[in-house]
Amino acid sequence: MLGTGILKGLKETARNVIGSFRDKERLPTVMYPEEKVKTKENFRTFPFLVFDGNDAMLGLRCVSCRICEKECPPQCIFIIQERDENNKAVKHPRVFDIDFSVCMQCGICAEVCPFDAIKMDNIYELAGDDRFTGLLVDKHRLAKSNHYYHQIKPTEADEVDSRLAEDRRKAEEAAKAKAAAAAAKAAPPSSTAT
Amino acid sequence: MNLVERIDQAPLLLQRWAVGFFPAFLQPWVAMLISAAAIIGVFASLFALSTLAERKGLGRIQNRPGPNRVGPFGMLQPLADGIKMLIKEDIVPLRADKVLHFLAPIALIVPSLLVYSVLPIGRNLVAMQCQLGVLLFFAIGASTELSIFMAGWGSHNKYSILGSIRAIAQMISYELPMVLAAITVILVTSSLDTVKIVEAQAGGFWAWHVCTPWGAIALLTFFICALAESNRAPFDLPEAESELIAGHLTEYSGFKYALFFMAEYLGMMAISGMAITLFLGGWQAPLPMLDFIPSWLWFFGKLAGFVVLFIWIRGTLPRLRADQLMNLAWKFLLPIALLNIGLAGLWVKSSAWIAWPVSILLLVPAVIGLGRLLRGSRPRGGKRIYQYAD
Amino acid sequence: MSIPFLIIASVILASAWAAVSLRNLVHCGLCAALTFLATGTLYLYLNAEFLGLVQLMVYVGAVAVLILFTVLLTRPATEAADPRPTQRPTFWKGALIAITVGGAVAAGLAAYVAPKGSSAPQLSIQEIGRLLTASPQNVLALIIVALLMTAALIGALLLAAPSEEGPKGGGE
């Protein structure tokens, strides 16, 4: 009949209004910044450098191999290797800058790093008022502890840690076997001498 | 005068007290000035409240909270909107007709505020008791179309002119069923005086004109025409953003736009006030025992109900196309309004026992038949055939 | 000759003069609307409330809108504001017509003798209604006017309706 459609529509909108006070489903708005949407674990934004232990610079996993700098598609990573007094290369970056305004958050740097030194963070509240240098972050701002990595990405961090522990164990065993072989080689050379 | 009566007549007593300070020859003028200032003050703040209610209400209908940042529950949002409108740059197009462009919002606000003078807000609380109150209301309301024309033409913009033509056509089409619906009330109460119309509905909600067969249909017709007269959804073709940009309001910014906006809401509340006066018993309480509640509180309560209904309908219904709009006015509402006048005459001349069944017998086929006729004006073509590219 | 009457009369005269002498046609139409408005105010000032309000409703609300719509629809919308007059101003013809009409009105006014000591009749709206519908000749006039307007409406609809074009060609 004429008009029933309108009444059905009015009933539906009334249900919306009353329901929006009662259940969350009818009012899915998140009151940012008082409430924030909890991001999933594999949500990624910008990269950060992982360090083990308590000292950021001493525990940095990065050895300045510069693979991430070469692989980065928009070339937003700038690395200068540390050199000691005799100008010999040290496995540490003197300068490690990422230009966040260029970074496209693809994650390729984290994929290719052989040392699990650079991983993707999930911070998004980076707005600032310094237009030119505010988004150019150096290694001190980039360095975050492994503990933090466990907090934001537990499964990934566990997997990385177990892999690194495994590698370390294998390296130790290989070193032990090599030392034993070297010792065995060094010990009885006379028994096989003819 | 005991306390209840004092509160009921409070605005009038305040006016008399303030007028008493002036010498005798100035007193009528001061009384008029106080009434005018009171009307502007009250209804402009009601306008601010209704914009807030609209935004929050529409938000809740659309599953979102509406503005809630500015004050507690967003209550200072109208203030923020007002400040924004005031400090916006007032842009007038280069080749626009400056006089027309400037006068249009003023020519719209003045009639919109003038019509409040005949609405009885409470017992003895009408700014101007005029023997021809209802006629004054409709006569002054008819002057608003001129300002829409001035707005459209003065902007020197093809889309503005087209938008104003459509807006004026809509307004004059819906004025006719509106006046015819009001005529049924005038026929039954045989008076054009708004105060007498309200007093004729005394006794309880069963005496209100809405509880008669012609009254219910007339109120429905009046309400639909009120939606169209104030360019409210679903009849907001003239001012919707996706239609001809903003129609006749395209070239207006800042305070002039705020004046148009205010005139729309003031018109909405004025027509609601007239509907309350004609059909819902004005300031009367629905039950005689509830008379201790002040009469102006009943009026504003009913007005709030109407505003909520306006907002609810806006959030629910999609916009009507221009031809659907005109078809509704001329092919549906006008015949129903004319039939209604006949039924009102029947009500006056015979008793309720005969009038109710005859009215229902005549109205139901008319409504259904005219509705079918309206459906027929849908663009033809049968069922749609979809052809997909493979 | 009270002050409100002087003000209203000067507004009527000024806007009527402007309505015929302005160059922009839309401005002329709006000055005509102002004239109607001022005339309605004059009726209200003379306590003829019904007449004043009907003047406002019909003239300002409908006739002025009609005039403006006509101007709007028969001219390109973005035409320049002042179209140059295409003929030479015909001053002498206009003066002749003005003198003739003005002389007739003046003669009629001079011959009118106001009845002494009477004021305007105070008619309430109920009495107006009764006068219109009670006596047979008034009712006849009312019905004839209604029929005339219906005929005009139907004529306007027929004129404005799109013409049906039958299928052309095919001979026979």
Amino acid type, A57: M
Does position C32 have pLDDT exceeding 50, yes or no? yes
**pLDDT bracket for residue B388 (50, 70, 90):** confident
Asked whether the beta carbons of residue B158 and residue C124 sit closer than 8 angstroms, the reply is no
- B270 touches B112 (CB < 8 A): yes
- Residues of B with CB below 8 A from A10's CB? 312-313, 316
Integer angstrom CA distances of residue C18 from C23, C24, C65: 9, 10, 18
Q: Which residue has the tokens 């709007």?
A: C72
State how many domains chain B has. Answer: 2
Nearest to A16 among B60, B68, B368 (CB): B60
Residue ranges of domains in chain C: 1-77, 125-160
The ipTM assigned to this model is 0.83
- pLDDT tens digit sequence for B176-193: 999 999 999 999 998 889
Distance CA B185, CA B305 (A): 21
C-alpha span between A93 and A82 (Å, rounded): 5
Q: What is the pLDDT of residues C109-165, one digit of tens each?
A: 888 877 776 666 677 788 888 888 888 888 899 899 999 999 998 998 898 887 765
Give the model's pLDDT for residue C167.
47
How do residues B30-68 score in pLDDT, each as one tens digit? 999 999 999 999 999 999 999 999 999 999 999 888 898
Q: Which of B106-115, B288-297, C75-84 has the lowest average pLDDT?
A: C75-84
Q: Are residues B64 and B106 in the same domain?
A: no
Across the interface, do B62 and A9 touch by the CB < 8 Å criterion? no
Instruction: Enter the tokens of residue B69.
Output: 């940042």
The reply to whether B136 and B222 lie within a common domain is yes
Nearest-angstrom CA–CA distance, C82 and C93: 24
Q: B138: which chain C residues are within 8 Å (Cβ-Cβ)? A: 57
pLDDT recorded at residue C117: 66
What residues does A118 pair with on adjacent strands? A49
> What tokens does A117 get?
């030194």
* C and A make contact (3+ CB pairs below 8 Å): no
What tens digit of pLDDT does each residue of A107-163 get?
999 999 999 999 999 988 888 888 878 889 988 999 999 999 999 999 999 999 999
Q: What are phi and psi of B11, to 5 degrees?
A: -60, -40
- pLDDT, one tens digit per residue, over A62-88 is 999 999 999 999 999 999 999 989 999
Give the pairing of strands A118-120 and A89-99. Answer: unpaired
* Least confident residue range of B145-159, B209-223, C97-111: B145-159
What's the fold here for domain C1-77? Four Helix Bundle (Hemerythrin (Met), subunit A) (1.20.120)
Q: Is residue B191 included in any domain, yes or no?
A: yes
Chain B residues within an 8 Å CB radius of C50: 132, 135
B312·A13 Cβ contact <8 A = yes
CA distance to partner chain C, nearest, from residue B52 (Å): 33
Enumerate the residues of chain C whose CB falls inside 8 A of the CB of residue B192.
125
Residue B234, preceding peptide bond in cis (omega within 30° of 0): yes
Q: Considering CB atoms only, which of C26, C50, C73 is closest to B132?
A: C50
Domains of chain A listed by start with CATH number? 47-123+131-166 (3.30.70.3270)
Q: How many Å lie between the alpha carbon of C54 and the closest alpha carbon of chain B?
A: 7
Pair of tokens at residue B353: 């026992």
B47 and B173 within one domain: no
Q: Is the dihedral of CA B215, B221, B227, B230 positive or negative?
A: negative
Give chain C's mean pLDDT.
82
Asked whether residue B7 is assigned to any structural domain, the reply reads no
Q: What is the mean pLDDT of residues A38-54?
A: 91
CA pair distance C122, A39, nearest whole angstrom: 80
Residue B158: which of C53, C78, C124 has the nearest Cβ? Answer: C78
Identify the CA nearest to B237 among candidates B168, B179, B178, B176. Answer: B168
Q: What value does the CA radius of gyration of chain C take, rounded to a whole number of Å? A: 23
Q: Cα–Cα distances in Å, from A77 out to A138, A142, A175, B318?
A: 10, 12, 35, 53
- Mean per-residue pLDDT, B273-299: 90
**A83, β-bridge pairs:** A89
Torsion sign across C-alpha atoms B148, B149, B152, B153: negative
Residues 86-115 of C with CB under 8 A from B: none
Same domain membership, residue B117 and residue B30: no
User: Is B94 in a helix, a strand, or coil?
Assistant: coil
Domain-ending residue, one of B63, B87, B111? B87
- Residue numbers of the domain that contains B75: 13-87
Count CB atoms within 10 A of the CB of residue A79.
19
